[in-house]
Chain A
């Protein structure tokens, strides 16, 4: 239980791992947008080359990256078949009442590729960035929202505390569950409703303990002079390095290329 990893960070020593999280966030965003700009074959060819290069640079095994696709297999199948059979155009073959068209096949292909690339693109971000770095990166890059009253620092602090407490609370759930099972509680049998009902005696103590922990933690933070983000310094502030500048240039070139190719 202690080994629980959030997200799917894959530890490795690659250029991509060392990039500033802000660069990676920007990169992912640009890549996702570019997929929606691309319409024809040349655009997708550029995106494929770019993605392949990034995957190789990340040193993350392909199997890890593909694993992220499992979640969207059904979505992928549905959208592809809808596109094949429900688009009007020159028919290629019929399947009972369904008629597959050339245009549909074309559309389905691009649609499928786009979906797959979307998932792979964002997986690369989470595979090469620890949740902590991600929080830091988000706090820094969304800093401008502070001006319109969004409590960016507080949200980032909440995220990082949540990350710290997830394994602790998971362990606690496990303990409470075992304690209740030892007294004859049954969490496994029955339908959804029965199972959900069995969760109530589990959730009540868990919530009570979580609130108690929250109170303790708030006090401990206050005792260590926490008073919001104002005037706070950082042990490891985010720094743009030369590699980040290079990454931004590559990104800009890629984006311009995608616009031309559309």
Chain B
């Protein structure tokens, strides 16, 4: 079953040049057809301006398509009365952890979404407790978000979405502003939510390493799907990725170079252990 379905999706915006006032229409998405299966972990890659963030905002109904339709659990984002239900179904986590925390206490921020949905107070309590447990932030429940690290703030933001009991979470470059430890924590949390609670994850990123453990990798370029497949399939096509000015995970890159140098190494090496094994076989 598909939770997100994009049909001939187009999104244009007008870019105004500051210096001379000329306006150019940018096609952020052009005729994008894409479906995302319920319960899957999908990673969307692409360089800046490939349309990946635009796509995320269209899922959540924050922007409306210029042309075409996007269905979330069968609901069209263009129908205004369904907007709240769509946002409940597909939650969203943004890049900057500071700019998406609203309340002054962690637990109140986590409760913000369900409060808006009008969830009764007794249930709010259980939802907040559960959501904070989900992201292992229970110990920080009564703290001020200002005292947390970037990774912790991002986990609070994820808990805020989890408390809305979504079927799907869209994360728009959630790790871009975090240090390595924070990135690892956030990724671990997201993978756990996918595995244990069956939440569909759409992770938008430009760190190739984060795509390694996904079920499916979609590479976007110029508002279209350029590549689509499992991580092994995608990262096996090193040269194609480079043409789209994307890098590949370090291990894949190393494997690719070693292979070029004459070693026998299989396609689609993604992890350190795999590469070590492949090299050892060459002795």
Contact = CB atoms under 8 A, between A and B. Distances in A.
A216 B88 contact: no
A221 B101 CA distance: 9
Nearest to B96: A216
A242 interface: no
Contacts of A2: 146-147
A237 interface: yes
A260 to B, nearest CB: 43
A233 B118 contact: yes
A236 B100 contact: no
A169 to B, nearest CB: 10
Nearest to A225: B116
B119 to A, nearest CB: 6
Interface string A181-220: 0000000000000000000000000000000010011011
Interface string A219-237: 1111111110001111111
Contact of B103 (A160, A225, A237): A160
B199 to A, nearest CB: 16
Interface residues of B, number: 40
A167 interface: yes
B121 A223 contact: no
A217 B99 contact: yes
A260 B108 CA distance: 45
A132 interface: yes
A232 B115 CA distance: 5
A225 B146 contact: no
B160 interface: yes
Given A2-B146, A167-B146, A222-B62, A132 B105 contact: yes
A211 to B, nearest CB: 11
B202 interface: no
Nearest to B111: A235
For the complex, would chain A's binding face be called helix, strand, loop or mixed by DSSP majority? helix
A168 B146 contact: yes
Contacts of B57: 219
A237 B121 contact: yes
A163 B87 contact: no
Nearest to B125: A235
A231 B104 CA distance: 22
Report which residue of A131, A220, A225, A234 has the largest number of chain B beta carbons within 10 angstroms of its beta carbon. Answer: A225
A226 B160 CA distance: 13
Contacts of A222: 62, 87
A103 B111 CA distance: 60
B208 to A, nearest CB: 26
Interface of B: 57, 60, 62, 84, 87-88, 91-92, 94, 96, 98-105, 107-108, 111-121, 124-125, 128, 145-147, 160-161, 164
5 contacts: A168-B146, A219-B57, A222-B62, A232-B118, A235-B115
